[in-house]
Structures are given as C-alpha cells and as structure tokens.
Structure 1
C-alpha cells in the first residue's frame, strides 16, 4: 500500500470515527436529558415524606395502645435521615427522645444500627461527654432509596 493510499484510508477512518463520536454525543445528550426528566423526587419532597412518616407514627398512639408500636430503630432512622438532609447532627440524648422507647432499649438499637453499618457515632469535639450520631453514606443511601420508592408509589 502506497503512502497516499494509507493517508487516504486514515482520513476515511478519521471521518467515520468523527461521525461515530458525534452520534454518540447526540445519544448521550438525549439520555442525560431523559434522566433529568425522570430523576427521583427532590430533597424537600424526601424530607417531607420522612416527616410525614414520623408524624403518622406518633399520631397512631393517640388511637391505639402504645405497646403495639415498638420500632425504635425505624423511628431513629427516619429522624437521622431528616437531620442528615438538613445538615444537622443529633446527639444520643436527642436521638433517644425520637425513638419513644426506654433509654436502654434505644441505646441498644443505636449500638445495633452501628454494627449494621448504617450510622456513625462521633465524640462531640466541643463537649467530649456527648456523642453525635448521624447516618453514614450506606444508611443515607438505603433510606433515600426507600423514601424515593414511597414517593413513586404516591
């Protein structure tokens, strides 16, 4: 093959490749635009759903006996999700109060949530007697997926 033929072949391949790149770009742009239209609910919607679930869980105790509703871990996960999205932290005392369960039971559930890898506990640098609790990335991702699913079904 002569140099001229090789150069011609390279130019032809470059032109074809350029067309493929342009087509890929158009398809990618179209997929990105479609994904923006079908993205999940916004942050405020997820916070509102979590808040509504917390409120519903508290209100049912007005109508039915308390002993029917002992899910302190779930109460804490919902509260931690709202705090995470609002960029707040909860200390153990405030988290325990959201669980509507005895302190020792709530503390056992905090320990269990930590062992499951859903939360992070950090000693408060300003007051070393306090421990701050927050969802970690794993816990936040799981709660987000759940709340997005709730939003889609509404």
Structure 2
C-alpha cells in the first residue's frame, strides 16, 4: 500500500510538471510570436524622427556634464539633423548644418565634402542666392539613417 501511494504521488507530480512545462512552452511561444510581429511591423517616420530628435538632445545633454571633445562626431550629428529636417522638407544650408554639428567651420566643411563623396548627402545651389548651398540627405543617406533608427527602435 505504501508503494502504491508513492507511485500515485510520483504520477501526480509528473502530471503537474507536464502541465507547468506546457504553460511555460505556451508563454515562450507567445513571446517569440510577439517579437516576430514587432520585428516586421512598420515603424512610422514620425517615430523615427522622434528617436532622431531624442538622439540629438542626448548628445547635447552630454556636453553639459562632460567635455565636448570626448564625443566629437560632426558627421553623425549632421546626418541625424538632416534626417529630422528631411521630414519637414526643409533644405538646410551649410551655415545651419555647421551650427548643428557643433564643430569648427573647416572641420564641418570637410565632413560635408566627405559625406557628399560617400553619396549620403546632396548639395544644391540655392536658386535665390547662388552663394548659399543647400544640403539634404540623399536617398541612400536617408535609408541608412532610417535603417539605423529602425534597428534601435526594435531593440
């Protein structure tokens, strides 16, 4: 009789463990399905622009607490700022872009030239003032920054 009660306890324990296992498997499956859905669901341009603005704000905030030379990436600052202005269809002139990059003019101009050679930005002479050059993200530049922002939004 004692052996029967031990056997019954083991059967009961086995069925309870099986039920717990099934529950964990079902929950894990739901998590995987949700992640797969999140990875394929589109992220709006509005959300990407909000993320880009957040990145710019964080970069400026760091300068309040730490020396600016520790975080000197004028090309990245320019690309993110141009991404934000792209949504508003606002052309950005070189002077404004240099100010956004928070870098010396000559350094910024070298980066603008390099970004143009990499085909990440487009440069167009301002039709109303030939001395001004308007800068915007190229299609490839837009896709690259949007791809990066999408990837971090999905993490």
Q: TM-score over 0.5 for the alignment?
A: yes
Q: How many residue pairs end up in the alignment?
A: 118
SS in 2 for 1:134: strand
Q: Which runs of 5+ in 1 are unaligned?
A: 1-34
Q: How many angstroms apart in 2 are the aligned matches of 1:142 and 1:39?
A: 19
Residue 45 in structure 1 maps to residue 47 in structure 2: yes
1:142 aligned residue: 144
Q: Deviations over 1:60-104 (max 9, x none)?
A: 011111110110000000000011122111000000000000000
Matches within 5 A, 1:22-33: none
Deviating beyond 3 angstroms after TM superposition, the runs of 4 or more aligned structure 1 residues are none
1:119 aligned residue: 121
Q: How many angstroms apart in 2 are the aligned matches of 1:143 and 1:41?
A: 13
Residue 67 in structure 1 maps to residue 72 in structure 2: no
Return the TM-score normalized by structure 2. Answer: 0.73
SS in 1 for 2:43: coil
Return the TM-score normalized by structure 1. Answer: 0.74
How far the C-alpha of 1:40 sits from its partner, in A, is 2.3
How far the C-alpha of 1:41 sits from its partner, in A, is 1.1
1:92 aligned residue: 94
Q: How many angstroms apart in 1 are the aligned matches of 2:118 and 2:62?
A: 28
